[in-house]
Amino acid sequence: MIRVVIANQRGGVGKTTCAVNYAWYLAGKGNRTLLIDTDSQGSISVMLNLKPRNFFNQFLIHKFHLDECTVKVTDKLDVLCGNKDTIQAESAMAGAVVRELALKIMMEPYESRYDAVVIDVAPSINLLQSCAMVYARNVVIPVDMDLLSLNGANAAYDMMRLLNDLIKANIRAIGLMPCQVDQRLSVTALVQQSLQKMSEMFDVPILPAIRTDQTVNKAFRARKALLDFDPNSKAAQDYLAAFAQITAMIEASDGQTQTANV
Ligand SMILES: Nc1ncnc2c1ncn2[C@@H]1O[C@H](COP(=O)(O)OP(=O)(O)OP(=O)(O)O)[C@@H](O)[C@H]1O
Ligand SMILES: [Mg+2]
């Protein structure tokens, strides 16, 4: 099973675009896929023009059945949307024992229904991000061509390491994904150099880059996933290459884990 969280503490780097399109990609390959929005901005419902009856908060805190909270987008793709009530979920969980396990525990009864779960998180260090990392154990870190985005990537990586040290969560970074890449801008080369250093220091690969492409914004205005709106666009083609690699890496590591558990 593929479980992955798309994280970077910096805002606007392309987390939600990546999460929505990776979920779309996996569903398109025939995987029963669940896309979860743990961000109180509720961007996924806006991006895909969804009108859920219930949201992430009702699922996690009020223990509603998952079916009462998800929206079926395609035959293979369900979405659990976030909204501003997610802020209440954070505070409701604050004092709970083993709170980092909350999402893992809530998802357990539904595991057999899905082949893939993709999780989008907020651009901040918060408890829900930890819950998402502990549950998914695979983290993709999008980095846009802005130096602060590298700080955000660092913060996501530190959080992973902390959870691994403190609760043996066994989380790993699948890769750093350069996003909104425009080679004409001088800052791009600078960020790419720093990204290379970060990749070597953390021993985390750099994934195929996603070029800046206005089709991403057009797809957003049309309230569609980019891969649905224009699969031949530059950014869509880049995403396809990156997603193939992410999937292969997660499947390879799952195989190793299974062998190790035999
Ligand atoms: N490859 C691209 N080319 C052009 N624009 C892009 C590209 N990728 C993302 N964008 C645009 O960048 C903006 C931020 O993207 P997105 O919402 O995916 O980032 P985010 O990291 O989820 O943001 P937040 O931290 O606020 O949740 C959006 O307007 C999106 O359309
Ligand atoms: Mg987002």
Percent of the chain with pLDDT over 90: 91
- Tell me how far the alpha carbon of residue 49 lies from the centroid of ligand 2, in angstroms: 15
Q: Pocket of ligand 1, candidates 24, 216, 226, 234: which has the most ligand atoms within 8 Å of its Cβ, to mutate?
A: 216
* 151 Cα to the center of ligand 1, angstroms: 17
Whole-number pLDDT of residue 30: 98
Q: How far apart are CA 207 and CA 189, in angstroms?
A: 16
Contact between residue 122 and residue 6 where contact means Cβ atoms under 8 Å apart:
no
Residue range 14-43: mean pLDDT, rounded: 98
The whole-number pLDDT of residue 257 equals 59
Cα–ligand 2 centroid distance for 121 (angstroms): 7
Say how far apart CA 92 and CA 105 lie, in whole Å. Answer: 16
Q: How far apart are CA 239 and CA 234, in angstroms?
A: 9
In this structure, the dihedral spanned by the alpha carbons of residues 252, 248, 140 and 20, taken in order and rounded to 10 degrees, is: -140
Q: What is the CA radius of gyration of the chain?
A: 17
Q: Is the dihedral of CA 124, 127, 130, 136 positive or negative?
A: negative
* CA 67/CA 113 separation, integer angstroms: 11
> What is the average per-residue pLDDT within 3-20?
97
Residue 6 phi/psi, 5-degree rounding, is -105, 110
Every domain of the chain and the residues it spans: 2-250
**Interstrand relation of 138-144 and 33-37 (parallel, antiparallel or unpaired):** unpaired
d(CA 215, CA 62): 39
Q: How confident is the model at residue 218 (pLDDT cuts 50, 70, 90)?
A: very high
CATH architecture label of 2-250: 3-Layer(aba) Sandwich (3.40)
Give the Cα separation of 174 and 7 in Å (integer): 11
Strand order in the sheet with 138-144: 70-72, 77-80, 33-37, 116-120, 2-6, 138-144, 172-179
Average pLDDT rounded to a whole number, residues 24-41: 98
Dist CA 147 CA 162 (whole Å): 23
- Using pLDDT thresholds of 50, 70 and 90, give the confidence band for residue 159: very high
The pLDDT score that the predictor gives to residue 38 is 97
Q: What is the pLDDT of residue 125?
A: 83
What is the biggest distance separating any 2 CA atoms in the chain, rounded to whole angstroms? 51
Average pLDDT over residues 184-193: 93
- The residues whose Cβ lies within 5 A of ligand 2, an ion, are 15-16, 43
CA–centroid distance, residue 11 to ligand 2 (Å): 7
pLDDT, position 95: 82
* Ligand that comes closest to the CA of residue 179: 1
CA dist., res. 26 & res. 188, Å (int): 30
Is residue 254 pLDDT above 90, yes or no? no
3-class DSSP assignment, residue 172:
strand
Mutate to test the pocket of ligand 1, among 125, 180, 211, 215 (most ligand atoms within 8 A of CB): 180
Is the pLDDT assigned to residue 262 strictly greater than 60?
no
Tell the residue number behind the tokens 């699948």, with chain if given: 174
Mean pLDDT of 191-213: 96
Contact at 8 Å (CB) between 98 and 104? no
> Ligand 1 pocket by C-beta < 6 Å: which residues?
11-17, 39, 41, 43, 123, 179-180, 210, 212-213, 216-217, 220, 235
Q: What percent of the chain has pLDDT over 70?
A: 97
Q: Which residue has the tokens 């539904």?
A: 110
Query: What average pLDDT score do residues 137-146 get?
Result: 97
Report pTM. Answer: 0.96
State the pLDDT at residue 258: 54
pLDDT digit string, tens, across residues 54-106:
999 999 999 999 999 999 999 999 999 999 999 999 888 888 878 999 999 99
Q: Which of 26-30, 37-41, 182-186 has the lowest mean pLDDT?
A: 182-186
Ligand at shortest distance from the CA of 142 = 1
In the predicted model, what is the mean pLDDT of residues 38-45? 97
Count of other CB atoms within 10 angstroms of residue 92: 15
Which tokens go with 107? 């998802």
